Every structure is written in C-alpha cells, then in structure tokens.
C-alpha cells in the first residue's frame, strides 16, 4: 500500500524531536490523563470555599459547598467562556475603532481610509450623516459611534439591525438582544460569581446575549472597520506553507490577531533604510509571513504568504530561518520563548496588555506604528548574521497557490456581477439543488486530534463531494489552505452540481473568508441569503451549518454560541464543554432549538460530523419544500384521451 505523504506539521515535529526541541504535543502528553472534573465542567473554583468537585458517576459529592449543582457549575463555566471569548474579539474591535478615529484625525501616520464604499455602508447603519461631509469627518464619527457601542447606557447594538427581522424578533422576545458590549461581558462575570445567577437556563440565555455582542458587536466592528482601513478582501492569489520562508532572505513572522501591527510591518518593509540594511547583510530581501489569524488577515487583503496556523508557531521557529517573530495578542503561546532559545530567533511583544516573560518588548501605538515596525524590522535584519545554517530546515518547498479573499461582498459580486451583485444566484443554485447548502468551518487547531491530522481538510473534502459549498475562517481556513483546497481546480473534487457552479463562476469550492473575527462576515452573508428570498424568512430556515472540529479558545465557544443564537446549527468536535451536566448538555443540544431555532451538537468523529451536517441540510431543504421530486406520471389510454379533449382549442366564439 502506498504510504501517505507526511504533512508539513508531521515533518516538522519529527525534526523537532530529533533536535530535542519540546513541542505542544510533548506537553499535551505530559498532561495526560487530563483532569476528569475539569474536562466535564465539574470543577468550580469561583470562590475560596473551593475548589469543589462534583462526582458524576460514583457516590461522591453532587453539590459544591454553596449548594451549586452540576448544571450550575457547567452553565457558569460556559458563560464565562462565552464572555471571555467575546472580550477577546471585542477588545480587538475597540482597538480598530480607536485606530479609525486616530486615522481620521490625522494622528496615525501611515494609515488611511481605503474603502470609502464600506465606510458609507457602516455610516448608514450607524445613522451617521454623509451628505456634504468630508470622508475623514464621517470616518471620525463612525469610529466614535463604534466606540460608543462598548459602553452606551441604553439601547441595543446597532449591527443587530442587519439580521433578518424574524431573527431580531426572536432576540427581543426572549430577551437576548445585546446591549452595550462591555455591559454584557461585565454582567456575565457578575452573574457567574458566587451567589449570583444559579439557574442554568438563565445563565445560558446570558451566554447567548454576550455571544451575540461578539458576533454582531465586537467582531463585526473589527471586521468592518478593518475593511475600511485596510481594504475589503477581494480574490487574491497567495501562498500557504512553511516553504514561504526563504533561506536566502531575512524572515520575519507576524503572529497574533490585530492587523494594524502587521499592516505597519508590511508598510515599513519597503522603507529604504530597511531595504538597504537587508542588502548590506547579503540577504536577497525581507520576507514578511503571517501566522495564525494575523496570517489570515494579511492573506485575504494582500496575498501576503502564510507560514501556518496556530499549532505551527513552534515548528515555524524550528525551521531555523526566522530572524524574528513579532506578536500582538491572542493564541500566542508562552512556549515560543523557549523554542526560540534553540535557534537565533528573537521574540518581540508589542502591546502593553500582552507581554511574555523572556521576550523583548517594542511598544506599538497608533501614533508611532510605522516607526515601531521599522525598529522591529531592523532588529530582524541585524539578527540575520546570527543564523546557524546547520540548523536550517524548511520542509517541503511546495508552496500551494491559493485564491483567498472571499468577503461576503466578494461572494455577492462574483455570483451576481458588479452591477447586479446579489445573493440571488446563490439562492437559486441552492433551490435548484446544484448547491445543497453552505457550511462555515471555523476555528482552532488542537494537539488533541494528533499531529498534522488535517481534520478540516478531510471534512471539507467530504462536504464538497456532497455539493456543499464551504466557507472557512481562522485556523480551519489555514489548514484548508495548506491542504490545497482553496484553488479553483478543486472543482474536480466536488459533486456534479457544485462543480458546475464553481466552473461557471471560477471560484474554489472552499472559500477563505478571513480570520476568526471575520465569522461576522458569515453572519452578514446568511442574513442576506435569508432576506434575498426563496429560502424562508430567517437564518434558521436556511440549509446552512457551522462546524469547529478542533476548538480550543474561549473565542471558539463565543463563536459557536452566537452562530446558534443567530439560527445556525453548529457542531463542535473533540469534546463538549458541559459534558458532565446532562440537563445543561440537553439544553444546548436540543432545547435551544425551541428557543432560537438552532442547536449545538458535539461529536469527535469528522465522518459522523459530515453526515450530521448533510442530514441537517437535507432536513432544512425538505422543510423549505425544495427537495420535492416531481413524480413521473404514466398515463393510461382513458386519461390520455381526456387530456387531449381538455387541451383542444375551444370553438371560436366560445369563451
Ligand atoms: S487564531 S482562536 S486558534 S482560530 Fe484566530 Fe486560530 Fe482559534 Fe486562535
């Protein structure tokens, strides 16, 4: 039997083992068996009576010292995760809003407004006047309005209005329309403290409200305002593989989430002082490559190469060619400082709110972004001389070309054309069955599934073979890009219907839509599909689903919860975060459907997940009446004569 080719991840981990460089997989093994109480959400340490555990099987305690039961333990845990995830995406959004205001005021040299059309669209949604006003004036007010969304004392979030009316009514009816973003995060932590909210159903409702403040609040602010500042993604060719790092170049990796840092590094990389310094070292050029969601941001907007997804941060350093890894915030592992010690790589942190012991720190601010970026680049160039060529190992060298940059505007434009951009053609293709449905695959990569398992790649292949269009974000998108799925030629792996559509439009069947904050693009896309007509009135009517196979971050839980609260059936892999509390598990996986028309599922096996998602899509199609097969009617002779009589033209003068 032909041996399966090793993935880049696997090759690099073999290499790191050889070099005795510790990896996250080693540390994962060292943690096994992981704490059973923690895994089942049955450990509470919210107060110093604890830590309290609940024994789900034996005769041990069934309550904490305060009397809280398993459902309260699990629901509080779930709400805190949703709140923390929302805080991450939203604080990111707040930073972008500040940058927009600073740019509009001329206080952020180097940055400018790139997408005026989107600025106008957001201004309209925020009720900001645009007539006879300068672009910068409008941008300043839009930025300020966005900042108000975090702390306004009254009302609900402005972007909630973008959802179909039927969805907004559900949110209002059950009291989960999000108010100010900070208020929802703050209240979530208040309610989960000792002696607060102790009703698992009520806690889960707040988990919906805080998560909606992420998807339709912080994340949407981040995505939309980033598009205004850095450009809305359009189809762009890119490369994704560790092979984007070059032996003959100064390599700098930008890792984290907030694109303002990465954009500044890109701007400064062509500064003559930097290019001259590079040439003086004998290196050919400076390579800026992205990692994690920063990579997604750079890729979808500029086609800047992507070195890998989250679990590849240690392997990337272990290529021995990375002069410097500069990080901002989220999904950056403390371990990289130790990995870097085996090589010449410098680790540089940039934000006052995210430092790492042992890393160097160059403070980054909107006002001095390009100066800080230049300083960081020159540090990288200076470090080139310290590279140890004996340690250099870049796996593969194959650099799959990918086509990325599928914002919801792009999808609309590609399907409908510049002057009649709409979701009509997509809806029509779903109605006629060429496309059975759409699945968003989002989220993290995790050592829990094994080294280089390519679970997202396998799932996506299964889905496109069944005529399901896939939209990918975050590290799931990174894995699909590495796996070579984001090229138009992948049409040949599709079912006949999807293949026909991909061929006609010239799109890959797996669309890269950006970073994890960009799941907000999926919310807008499904809202527009519902509003376009022919597929019901609400998001929950659509034949769509969301999947996250290797969830890790609290952000993933917030995303899952806002997908479900928005009406999207969502399946998570590995394990349920509330598995030890049967009522809570039932609430998420069944009863939420009655509340919001969608629910969660948890399943380890990606093949089963593919089946679950396909079944769900077919169920929705049945409910919409678009799976009706016209039965072939065979007429007998008497019926044929009757038909002929009916079809004969009426005699003239007879009406
Ligand atoms: S980076 S949150 S591992 S998607 Fe957005 Fe990737 Fe998950 Fe971090």
What is the pLDDT at residue 240? Answer: 86
Q: Contact at 8 Å (CB) between 577 and 78?
A: yes
The region of weakest confidence among 171-180, 220-229, 634-643 is 634-643
Task: List, as one string, the DSSP characters of 179-211.
Answer: --HHHHHHHHHHHTSTTS---HHHHHHHHHHHH
Share of the chain above pLDDT 70, in %: 94
Architecture of domain 241-391: 3-Layer(aba) Sandwich (3.40)
331 CB within 6 A, ligand 1: yes
Asked if pLDDT for residue 354 goes beyond 50, the answer is yes
Asked if pLDDT for residue 366 goes beyond 90, the answer is yes
The predicted model gives 299-307 an average pLDDT of 91
Strands (E) across 340-443 are located at 346-349, 360-361, 401-404, 437-441
Q: Which of 471, 513, 273 lies closest to 373, judged by CA?
A: 273
Distance, CA 627 to ligand 1 centroid (Å)? Answer: 36
Q: Which of 616, 317, 610, 289 lies closest to 481, judged by CA?
A: 289
Q: Whole-model pTM?
A: 0.94
287 CB within 6 A, ligand 1: no
pLDDT in tens, 472-525: 999 999 999 988 899 999 999 999 999 999 999 889 999 999 999 999 999 999
pLDDT in tens, 396-437: 765 667 899 999 888 888 877 656 678 999 999 999 999 999
The predicted model gives 49-61 an average pLDDT of 95
Backbone angles phi, psi at 239, to 5 degrees: -135, 145
Distance, CA 442 to ligand 1 centroid (Å)? Answer: 9
Cα–Cα distance, 549 to 567 (Å, whole number): 19
Question: Of ligand 1's atoms, which has the minimum distance to the CA of residue 442?
Answer: 4
Asked if pLDDT for residue 655 goes beyond 80, the answer is no
Topology (CATH level 3) of domain 401-624: Rossmann fold (3.40.50)
The predicted model gives 574-597 an average pLDDT of 97
For residue 486 the two structure tokens come to: 């984001």
Question: Of ligand 1's atoms, which has the minimum distance to the CA of residue 473?
Answer: 4
Asked if pLDDT for residue 374 goes beyond 70, the answer is yes
What is the pLDDT at residue 434? Answer: 96
Same fold, 65-230 and 401-624: no
474 CB within 6 A, ligand 1: yes
In the CATH scheme, what is the code of domain 65-230? Answer: 1.20.1270.30
Backbone angles phi, psi at 291, to 5 degrees: -140, 145
What pLDDT band is residue 653 in, cutting at 50, 70 and 90?
A: very low
pLDDT in tens, 315-352: 999 999 999 999 999 999 999 999 999 999 999 999 99
Distance, CA 331 to ligand 1 centroid (Å)? Answer: 6
Ranges of each domain in the chain: 65-230, 241-391, 401-624
146 CB within 6 A, ligand 1: no
Distance, CA 142 to ligand 1 centroid (Å)? Answer: 28
The predicted model gives 115-121 an average pLDDT of 97
Let me know the angle formed at the C-alpha of 326 by 320 and 329, rounded to the nearest 5 degrees: 130
What is the pLDDT at residue 648? Answer: 47
Distance, CA 310 to ligand 1 centroid (Å)? Answer: 6
Distance, CA 511 to ligand 1 centroid (Å)? Answer: 17
What is the pLDDT at residue 482? Answer: 87
Cα–Cα distance, 56 to 60 (Å, whole number): 8
pLDDT in tens, 155-177: 999 999 999 999 999 999 999 99
475 CB within 6 A, ligand 1: yes
């Amino acid at each position: 039997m032909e041996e399966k080719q090793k993935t880049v991840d696997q090759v690099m981990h073999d290499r790191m083992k050889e070099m005795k460089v510790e990896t996250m997989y080693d540390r994962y093994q060292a943690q096994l068996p992981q704490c059973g109480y923690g895994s089942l959400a049955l450990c509470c340490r919210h107060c110093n009576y604890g830590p309290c555990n609940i024994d789900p099987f034996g005769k041990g305690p069934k309550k904490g010292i305060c009397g809280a039961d398993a459902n309260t333990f699990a629901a509080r845990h779930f709400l805190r995760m949703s709140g923390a995830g929302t805080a991450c995406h939203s604080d990111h959004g707040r930073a972008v809003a500040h940058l927009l205001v600073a740019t509009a005021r001329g206080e952020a040299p180097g940055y400018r407004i790139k997408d005026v059309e989107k600025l106008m669209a957001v201004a309209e949604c925020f009720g900001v006047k645009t007539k006879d006003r300068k672009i910068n004036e409008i941008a300043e007010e839009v930025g300020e309005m966005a900042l108000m969304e975090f702390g306004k004392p009254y009302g609900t979030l402005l972007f909630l209005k973008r959802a179909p009316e039927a969805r907004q009514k559900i949110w209002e009816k059950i009291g989960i329309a999000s108010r100010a973003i900070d208020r929802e995060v703050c209240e979530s932590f208040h309610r989960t403290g000792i002696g607060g909210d102790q009703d698992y159903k009520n806690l889960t409702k707040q988990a919906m409200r805080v998560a909606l403040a992420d998807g339709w609040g912080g994340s949407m602010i981040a995505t939309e305002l980033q598009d205004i500042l850095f450009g809305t993604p359009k189809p762009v060719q890119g490369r994704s593989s560790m092979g984007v790092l070059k032996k003959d170049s100064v390599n700098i990796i930008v890792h984290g989430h907030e694109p303002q840092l990465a954009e500044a590094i890109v701007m400064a990389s062509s500064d003559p002082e930097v290019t001259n310094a590079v040439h003086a070292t004998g290196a050919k050029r400076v390579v800026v490559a992205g990692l994690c969601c920063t990579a997604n941001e750079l890729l979808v907007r500029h086609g800047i190469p992507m070195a890998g997804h989250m679990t590849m941060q240690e392997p990337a350093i272990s290529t021995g060619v990375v002069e410097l890894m500069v990080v901002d915030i989220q999904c950056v592992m403390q371990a990289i400082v130790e990995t870097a010690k085996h090589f010449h790589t410098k680790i540089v942190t940039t934000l006052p709110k995210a430092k790492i012991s042992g890393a160097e720190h160059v403070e980054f601010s909107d006002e001095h972004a390009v100066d800080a970026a230049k300083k960081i680049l020159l540090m990288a160039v200076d470090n080139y001389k310290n590279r140890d060529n004996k340690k250099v190992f870049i796996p593969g060298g194959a650099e799959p070309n990918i086509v990325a940059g599928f914002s919801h505007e792009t999808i609309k434009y590609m399907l409908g054309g510049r002057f009649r951009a709409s979701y009509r053609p997509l809806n029509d293709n779903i109605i006629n069955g060429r496309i059975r449905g759409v699945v968003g695959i989002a989220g993290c990569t995790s050592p829990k599934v094994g080294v280089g398992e390519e679970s997202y790649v396998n799932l996506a292949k299964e889905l496109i073979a069944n005529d399901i269009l896939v939209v990918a974000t975050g590290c799931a998108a990174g894995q699909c890009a590495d796996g070579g799925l984001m090229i138009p030629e992948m049409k040949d792996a599709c079912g006949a219907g999807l293949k026909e559509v991909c061929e006609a439009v010239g799109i890959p069947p797996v669309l890269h839509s950006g970073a994890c904050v960009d799941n907000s693009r999926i919310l807008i896309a499904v809202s527009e599909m519902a509003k376009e007509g022919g597929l019901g009135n609400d998001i929950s009517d659509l034949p769509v689903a969301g999947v996250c196979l290797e969830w890790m971050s609290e952000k993933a839980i917030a995303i899952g919860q806002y997908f479900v609260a928005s009406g999207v059936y969502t399946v998570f892999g590995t394990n349920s975060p509330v598995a030890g509390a049967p009522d809570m598990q039932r609430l998420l996986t069944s009863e939420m459907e009655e509340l919001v028309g969608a629910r969660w599922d948890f399943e380890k096996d990606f093949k089963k997940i593919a089946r679950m998602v396909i079944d769900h899509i077919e169920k929705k199609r049945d409910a919409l009446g678009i799976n009706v097969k016209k039965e072939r009617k065979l007429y007998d002779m008497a019926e044929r004569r009757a038909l002929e009589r009916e079809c004969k033209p009426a005699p003239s003068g007879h009406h």
